[in-house]
Structure 1
Amino acid sequence: MSTLTRRRLLAAAAAAATTLALAACGDDDDGGGSTSGAAVSDADVQAALNNGGDLTVWAWEPTLKQVLVKFQQAYPKVKINLVNAGTGNDQYTALQNAIAAGSGIPDVAQLEYYALPQFALAKSVTDLNGFGADALKDRYTPGPWASVHSGKGIYGLPMDSGPMALFYNKEVFDKHGIAVPATWAEYLDAARKLHRADPKAYITSDTGDAGFTTSMIWQAGGKPYQVDGTNVTINFSDPGSTEFVTTWQTLISEKLLAPIAPWTDQWFQGMSNGSIASLATGAWMPANFTSSAPSGSGKWRVAPLPQWQAGAKASAENGGSSLAIPEKSTAKTLAYGFLRYAAEGEGVQIRVDNGAFPATTAQLRSPAFLGAEFKYFGGQKANEIFAQSAQDVVGGWSYLPFQVYANSIFNDTVGKAYVSSTKLADGLKAWQEQSAKYGTEQGFTVK
């Protein structure tokens, strides 16, 4: 499940990360055990798995526990210590501290896609091209595969993905004669119609979230972040950003969004009782409906994400993580063997069976996966919609090499538009300016 839309990350950890990044840009030390000088073959990786050894894996994703059980049955000489060093910011802070100290560094680390660039720029994680990872391109869907790249380097293997879809309460929509919106303009009309019919009901809730905002701009074709090494451009006046702002400002101004923070009891209650009638988010969401809004079972359905342009087929990612190998790991070949198993091999199906949403094309094309019926969604084959969304993710998106910091100041900039008279466009401008100021202070060339 995504944590991208759930956390407010602290600026202190980001400052440490980007300071290390800029220091590392001029450091050519490969850290020992680097694969940059010679390729490691599949035979080398298999030999390492057969010979065994010890690995430390830092990750919070729960289905990895089941993966480890099967992995160690297949490779009994490999001993893995799975450590939950905290989710998101907590783990990133611990990882940066270990890197700075030069000790206690894990062999494998879970890194969300938006956080991976700062570790890649810092040369804190291994370029997997030395293991032939570039040959795996066609095994992953476009969005996650693009997200593990920095320049020509591949700095992780996609573990899961969050292609977006529209989850909606069919019972509520039918009651008020609301058609499933195919465009965001229709979504706005639906929001008005619903709130007029029932002032206590809202089309969705939104109190301001960095991950959701950037995903929506991504789907609109926006490219506010352009990154070339330490040269960064930030521009929230591009057409995609403007298109999102125009629609979302109307929803805010007309008070058509429920002022309920996500992941709270009130949020799940709203989805259970119909006062929150839809949710645009990643394909990892179904398990959360089942566990936290059980009384909504049978009432909800899934539809393709509304489009910014009628007749278009565009989507975006919202959430998802990679598995990466820290550059200072002393067991890189063995670690890569684990990455292949967990993120591309047998471990993928194990994770899917336990509720994860895959980034791999094999699973997304599987008749069994596509044909799975979701009881919560009235027996709907929702994976068909999610899989198509994964194929429709708009290309060319980039995150900042200090996105962790940028997300941490979202509430103080863009977030004001949801709770005050600040306009959304002004909030984005402030976010742009403060992010640019921070990047410049950290040594980036920001335009």
Structure 2
Amino acid sequence: MNRRHALLAGAALSLSLAMTACGSPGDGGSGAAPAQSSSAGDVEAALNAGGTITVWAWEPTLKQVVEGFQAKYPKVKVNLVNAGTGDDHYTALQNAVKAGSGVPDVAQIEYFALPQFALAKSIADLTPFGADKLEGTFTPGPWNSVHSGPGIYGLPMDSGPMALFYNKEVFDKHKIEVPATWEEYIEAARKLHKADPKAYITSDTGDPGFTTSLIWQAGGKPYQVDGTKVGISFADAGTQKFASAWQQMVTEKLVAPVSGWSDAWYKGLADGTIASLVIGAWMPANLETGVKAGAGKWRVAPMPQWEAGGKATAENGGSSLAVPEASTKKALAYAFIKYAGVDEGVQTRLDNGAFPATTSHLNAAAFKDKKFPYFGDQQVNQVLAESASQVVTGWKYLPYQTYANSIFNDTVGKAYTGAGTLQDGLKAWQDASVKYGQEQGFTVQ
């Protein structure tokens, strides 16, 4: 996505939502209407009949998407509502589902949060509308993320394949080669900090999204999910590979003790004291608008690899558009999310700074050949599109990942203050996640 990945503070849904989600239907934010049957043939009929739908989303480019959709289908009105980001958004959605009224017809849901909404049956399976026929339309990471069992519970809106964003001016000044592996990255961190004690190769005070993404890239699969049966273990080889490497960075104080998205973080990116980021493909727009002093200095390179010559990446952030089960206008809602995620709306979003999840747009010459003045006229999208094709498959999030992320700083985060190691923190995170899952009615091992 072209905005920062919002961390949630605790809007975790329990299994009790499975009962409330299928209760009395909401009014979709626009008054009650006869429920439409769920079939692909109903979509065209719904567009011809027209009506009003309500969309809850914070993603800024959707404003232009709504304008384009309404111009193409003048009988349809879309109420675009920003109900908040992160915790505020999901809490409002959860409360509407529980109340059985005021539920939107479309909701933006980040990939890591989607499983719990799907398991609770508070969002609709989109296969009756033909969503399963979109196989191959999206890159593997986002497409896998909208699946839950055999169902498809959202359409990918964007993606966040990871890459290395680095300050070329700083690297050149200290004769630092662009690292191709994480071992080289750690060595570069040592060289930079030794040359300039005020400079760090990156910053980190503990971030669940970054941590799980690096474990994902390393081949780790700490979460095993089969419906309400959940397995959690951070003892797998991929997790330990990350923990061992990153512990060196923490122990040797090679990462700036600055939290992402803070004023100090932006300042460090601007003045060169934070010299790189390994982050999602939605980052260019953030640098362009938030770190204007870095114009011409930054470049993009492939994500460092765990093995020399490797070609493995992971996703970091990204959102889907889903249709709440309580919506009485599912066919019209599906028409909108398909327009936004598959049809003309994708190009509209690209023109306004978003990064796509669709393979056709990623492979288009106009997209790949675009030059970015901020990055010294580098064709940045070539690197990012390649990363999207190399995302490791098979990753799963917990069906209560929002809660797990909310306790990250109380567990793994302690390692950044010297209170134990990353391995200790990951074990504490595992144990707390197991305990919570069992309390919510999951079968957890």
TM-score category (smaller protein) = over 0.9
Q: What residue is the counterpart of 2:30 in the other structure?
A: none
* TM-score normalized by the length of structure 1: 0.95
* Cα distance in structure 2, aligned partners of 1:45 and 1:33: 13
Q: What residue is the counterpart of 2:361 in the other structure?
A: 363
Contact kept, 8 Å, 1:203 with 1:278, in 2: the verdict is: yes
The structure 2 residue matched to 1:172, chosen from 147, 170, 173, is 170
* Cα distance in structure 2, aligned partners of 1:29 and 1:243: 48
* Cα distance in structure 1, aligned partners of 2:24 and 2:308: 52
Q: What residue is the counterpart of 1:10 in the other structure?
A: 9
The structure 2 residue matched to 1:329, chosen from 324, 327, 330, is 327
Shift of 1:240: 0.5
C-alpha distance after superposition, 1:221-259 (max 9, x if no partner): 000001000000001010110000011000000000000
Shift of 1:6: 3.9
Shift of 1:265: 1.5
Q: What residue is the counterpart of 2:297 in the other structure?
A: 299
For the pair 1:40 / 2:36, whether they are aligned, the reply is no
C-alpha distance after superposition, 1:327-379 (max 9, x if no partner): 01000011111011011100000000000100001110110000000111100
Contact kept, 8 Å, 1:297 with 1:376, in 2: the verdict is: yes
C-alpha distance after superposition, 1:151-210 (max 9, x if no partner): 110000000000000000111111111100000000000000111111111010001000
* Cα distance in structure 1, aligned partners of 2:2 and 2:219: 22
- SS state at 1:18 partner: coil
Contact kept, 8 Å, 2:113 with 2:402, in 1: the verdict is: yes
* TM-score normalized by the length of structure 2: 0.96
* Cα distance in structure 1, aligned partners of 2:194 and 2:405: 34
- Tell me, which stretches of 5 or more residues in structure 2 are unaligned? 27-33
* Cα distance in structure 2, aligned partners of 1:402 and 1:4: 21
Inter-CA distance 5–45: structure 2 relative to 1 (3 Å threshold): closer
* Cα distance in structure 2, aligned partners of 1:232 and 1:312: 30
Contact kept, 8 Å, 2:23 with 2:100, in 1: the verdict is: no
Alignment size in residue pairs: 438
Contact kept, 8 Å, 1:4 with 1:211, in 2: the verdict is: no
Contact kept, 8 Å, 1:6 with 1:262, in 2: the verdict is: no
The structure 2 residue matched to 1:123, chosen from 118, 121, 132, is 121
For the pair 1:227 / 2:218, whether they are aligned, the reply is no
Inter-CA distance 70–29: structure 2 relative to 1 (3 Å threshold): closer
The within-5 A match list for 1:16-415 is 17-21=13-17, 23=19, 33=35, 40-41=39-40, 43-415=41-413
Shift of 1:399: 0.3
C-alpha distance after superposition, 1:413-438 (max 9, x if no partner): 00000112310000000000001100
Contact kept, 8 Å, 2:17 with 2:121, in 1: the verdict is: yes
Shift of 1:272: 1.0
Contact kept, 8 Å, 2:20 with 2:97, in 1: the verdict is: no
Q: CA RMSD in A?
A: 1.7
* Cα distance in structure 2, aligned partners of 1:114 and 1:381: 30
* Cα distance in structure 1, aligned partners of 2:3 and 2:434: 25
* Cα distance in structure 1, aligned partners of 2:271 and 2:324: 46
* Cα distance in structure 1, aligned partners of 2:106 and 2:434: 31
Query: 2:214 is aligned with what amino acid?
Result: M
Contact kept, 8 Å, 1:22 with 1:442, in 2: the verdict is: no
Contact kept, 8 Å, 2:146 with 2:156, in 1: the verdict is: yes
Query: 2:226 is aligned with what amino acid?
Result: D
* Cα distance in structure 2, aligned partners of 1:257 and 1:237: 24
For the pair 1:440 / 2:432, whether they are aligned, the reply is no
Shift of 1:20: 2.8
Inter-CA distance 282–6: structure 2 relative to 1 (3 Å threshold): same
- SS state at 2:353 partner: coil
Contact kept, 8 Å, 1:5 with 1:210, in 2: the verdict is: no
- SS state at 1:178 partner: coil
Contact kept, 8 Å, 1:118 with 1:401, in 2: the verdict is: yes
- SS state at 2:394 partner: coil
* Cα distance in structure 1, aligned partners of 2:339 and 2:115: 23
Query: 2:139 is aligned with what amino acid?
Result: T
* Cα distance in structure 2, aligned partners of 1:209 and 1:405: 14
* Cα distance in structure 2, aligned partners of 1:98 and 1:140: 30
* Cα distance in structure 2, aligned partners of 1:266 and 1:10: 22
